[in-house]
Amino acid sequence: MFSTDWETSPRRYGVVIEKGVRIPVDDGITLYSDIFRPDAPGRFPVILAAHPYNQEAQSTPMIPEGIHVRRAFIESGDYNFYTRRGYVFVIMNIRGTGQSDGKFSNRNPDARTVQDVYEAIEWLARQKWCDGNVGMFGVSYFSVIQKRVAVLKPPSLKAIFALYGWTEGYRDLFYHGGIFAWGFFSAWARNRGPGMRIATDLRAQLGDNAYTSMIEDMRADRELMGVPFLAEVLREPEKPPHPLIVEVLMHRHDDEWHRDRAVDFGADTSIPAYFGADWGMFGFHMAGDLRAFEKWQGPKRMVMGPPIYLDRPVYQYAYESLRWFDHWLKGVDNRMMDEPRVKLFIVGANEWKTADEWPLPETRWTPFYLHQDGWLSEHEFWPDEGGTSYNDSQYERGGAEFVTPPMVETTEICGPIALDLWGSTNADEVLWFASLWLVETDGTKSMLTRGWLRGSQRRLDSEKSKPWQPVHTHEAREPLTPGEIYEFNIEIRPYGIELKPGQRLALKIKSADDETPTNFNEQVSRGHVLRPTASRVTIHHNPDCPSHLLLPITKGNVIGTFFSGGNLPPL
C-alpha cells in the first residue's frame, strides 16, 4: 500500500518456518511457539501474538469467512503478510495451554502469565534474527494480553496493535451493570476450556469450610440455579473447566479480585497503542477499547468500525497495523502520526469520519423524554402524565417501548448514550435491560446497542461518572423498598448512526434479554441471569420523575423533532 507521500514495507521476502520453538521463562517452564522469519540474512523487528488457544489453527491456511463459534479463536493474524514485508512473526501459547508447560490459572490473565509474555518479548529481542524491536498484534484474548503486558513496559516492546480487548472484566464481560452474563462465558469455557490445563486449587486457597460455604450459598441463589449451565457448574464445581466459572461467580461485586485482572491505567502507559472495535461489540470488547483510548497516556489511535466482527482467520487491519509497526518498529516516517487519532464508521451514511477526541467535541447531548402512549420526544412532559407498567415473570417477560416521531431531517448520533430512568417495583430487586433500536420507514426494526443495570447496584461512583456516562461502584447490593420510586442511571453503550428522514429510534425496556439474536455480535451480548420470582415493574415518566434518554447529536436536528413529524396538515 502507498500514497503520494508514504508507503508501507514492500512485499519482498519468502518465509522460513520454525515450529515448536520453546521460549524459557524464569520459573523453569517453556512456552511453545511457532516462528516465521523472512528468508534473508539480517535482523528484523518481531511481532508477537500470544494466546491460550489451538496453536496449529492459528497458522493453518484457510479462506477467511464470517465469524462463527468453530473459528472464533483464530485471531493471530496472517503471518505470511507480515513476514513477507520484513517482520519476524511469532505465535506463542501462554502457560497451561497447547504444548506450553505449566497450568492455566483460573485467575487468567494473572500476573504470572503476563510476566511470562514480558520475558518472552525480551528473549525474542535477544535472538540473532531480531533487531531488538518487538511489537504485539492480535484481537480478543490476544489484545487482552497485549494491554496488560504493555503496562509492564518491557524494554524491547515498542508498540501494540490491540483491537477488541476488554480492560475491566467485571464491567465489560462478566457482570453487565451488575447482572451476571453467563451466555458468552459458558460458550467460551465449553469450546476453549478443554485445551487448557486449568489450575483447580480454589478449594486449597480458600480452605474447605469457606469453599464449601460459598458453593452452598451459590446453590441457594435462584438466579444462578435457574440457568441449566450454571446449575451444572455448581453441581460439579471442580470439574474442568468449571473452576473458571466458579471463581467469577464467587466475586459478584467489583472487588480486588476483578481489579487485579483489569488493566492498570494508573501505571505508566506510554507505549504506543492502537485500540478499536466495532459498534456491534457493545456486549463485549467495545467498552474496554473506548476506556483504553480515553485513559492511555502514550501515543494512541482508535478505530470504531461497522457492526460486523472480524472474519476468521483475522486478516482485516493488516495494512493499518503494518503502517503502525513500520512507524514504531522500523522508524519509517509514513505520516501516520500526522493524521486524526480517531476513525469512526457512521452506520446509515456508511462512511468514515475522523476526530482527535472522544467523545466528539461537537456533541450535543439532547434529552428525549419518555412519554405516555409510548412516545420518545424532545418535547417536555404534559400535565398528568404518569407511568408505564409491565409484568416480569418466568411466564411473562413483559416490557415497555418508546418510539420517536419520524426524523424530519438527516440526524447523526455518535457517542456515549445514557438513560435516566425513574422506576419502581413491588419486589426488592429489578433488572433493567434497555436497548436502542432503529425503526425503518416500513416498520421493520433492528437493534443497535444496549445497556444494563441491577437495581440494587444503582449507586453511582461520583468521581468517575460523567453526565453522559454513568459509572457505578458495584461494591454492594442495596435492596429496593417495594413500591418506592428510585432514579436509575443506566449507561447504554455508544453507537454511531446517521438517521434519514422518516426513520425513527425506539427504546425498549425490559427485565430480561430474551430476544432471539440475529448475528454473532448480538449473540455474545445475550445470556444474562433473570429474576426467578414474579414482579410488577413501573417506569415513571412525568414532570416529577423525568425519565429521559440522552442522545449524542453530532449533526442535524437543530430545531427539534416534534410530534407533528414536520408534516403540514392539509387545508
- Residue-wise pLDDT for 408-417, tens only, equals 889 999 999 9
Residue type for position 510: K
Domain match, 96 and 243 both: no
Predicted pLDDT of residue 191: 75
Mean pLDDT of 60-69: 91
What pLDDT score does 373 carry? 93
Q: Give the residue ranges of DSSP H helices in 220-285.
A: 222-225, 228-235, 242-250, 256-261
**Residue 67, SS3?**
coil
Answer yes or no: is 346 within a domain: no
Segment (H or E) for 115 = helix 111-125
Q: Do 539 and 491 lie in a common domain?
A: yes
The confidence band for 228, taking pLDDT boundaries of 50, 70 and 90, is: very high
Confidence band (pLDDT; 50, 70, 90) for 83? very high
CATH number at residue 110: 3.40.50.1820
Confidence at residue 193, expressed as pLDDT on a 0 to 100 scale: 63
Cα–Cα–Cα angle for 28, 31, 37, rounded to 5 degrees: 130
What pLDDT, on a 0 to 100 scale, did the predictor assign at position 185? 82
Q: Please state the domain count of the chain.
A: 3
Q: For the residues 333-359, what does the mean pLDDT come to? A: 97
- Give the end of a domain, one of 224, 259, 294: 259
User: Looking at per-residue confidence, does 524 or 449 come out higher?
Assistant: 449
The Cα 216–Cα 235 span in angstroms is 10
Mean pLDDT to the nearest integer, 451-478: 98
Say which residue the cell 444494563 belongs to.
452
Looking at per-residue pLDDT, the higher value among 192 and 300 belongs to 300
154 with 290, same domain: the answer is yes
Quick check: is 566 in a domain?
A: no
Q: Tell whether the model's pLDDT for residue 256 goes beyond 70.
A: yes
**Which has more pLDDT, 31 or 68?**
31
* Whether residue 276 sits in one domain with residue 127: yes
- Give percent of the chain above pLDDT 70: 98
Q: Given a cut of 80, is residue 155 above it in pLDDT?
A: yes
Q: What gap in Å lies between CA 177 and CA 434, rounded to an integer?
A: 11
pLDDT grade for 239, boundaries at 50, 70 and 90: confident
pLDDT of residue 565: 62
In a domain, 568, yes or no: no
Residue 498 has a pLDDT of: 98
pLDDT > 90? residue 343: yes
- Could you read off the pLDDT of 193-216 as tens digits, one per residue? 667 787 767 888 889 999 999 999
Q: Within this chain, do residues 99 and 157 fall inside the same structural domain, yes or no? A: yes
Residue 478's contacts (CB-CB under 8 Å, 6 or more residues apart) are: 456, 457, 458, 459
Listed residues 239, 259, 279: the one ending a domain: 259
Distance, CA of 19 to CA of 57 (rounded, Å): 13
In a domain? residue 350: no
303 occurs within a structural domain: yes
What pLDDT score was predicted for residue 561?
66
Same domain, 310 and 163: yes
Of 266, 274, 261, 278, whose CA–CA distance to 175 is shortest? 261
Same domain flag for 319 and 370: no
Across all residues in the chain, what is the average pLDDT? 94
pLDDT value of position 274: 98
Q: For 519-565, how does the pLDDT look when each residue is reduced to its tens digit (9 = 90+)?
A: 888 888 899 999 999 999 999 999 999 999 999 999 998 887 656 66
Q: Are 90 and 34 in contact (CB under 8 A)?
A: yes
Q: What is the CATH number of the domain that holds 444?
A: 2.60.120.260
| 4-54 pLDDT tens trace | 999 999 999 999 999 999 999 999 999 999 999 999 999 999 999 999 999
Query: Are 333 and 433 contained in the same domain?
Result: no
Give per-residue pLDDT as tens, 494-523: 999 999 999 999 999 999 999 888 888 888
Mean pLDDT of 474-497: 98
**Statement: residue 321 has pLDDT above 90:** yes
Q: Are residues 467 and 411 in the same domain?
A: yes
pLDDT at 127: 98
Domain contains 295: yes
Phi, psi of 493 (to 5 degrees): -60, 145
Q: Does 255 reside within a domain?
A: yes
Q: Minimal CA–CA distance to 46: which of 149, 110, 162, 128?
A: 128
Q: How far is CA 312 from the centre of its chain?
A: 18
Residue range of the domain that includes 78 = 15-167+263-339
Query: Is 246 domain-assigned?
Result: yes
- pLDDT confidence of residue 194: 65
- Can you tell me the mean pLDDT for 266-272? 97
Q: Check pLDDT > 70 for residue 173.
A: yes
Average pLDDT over residues 421-443: 98
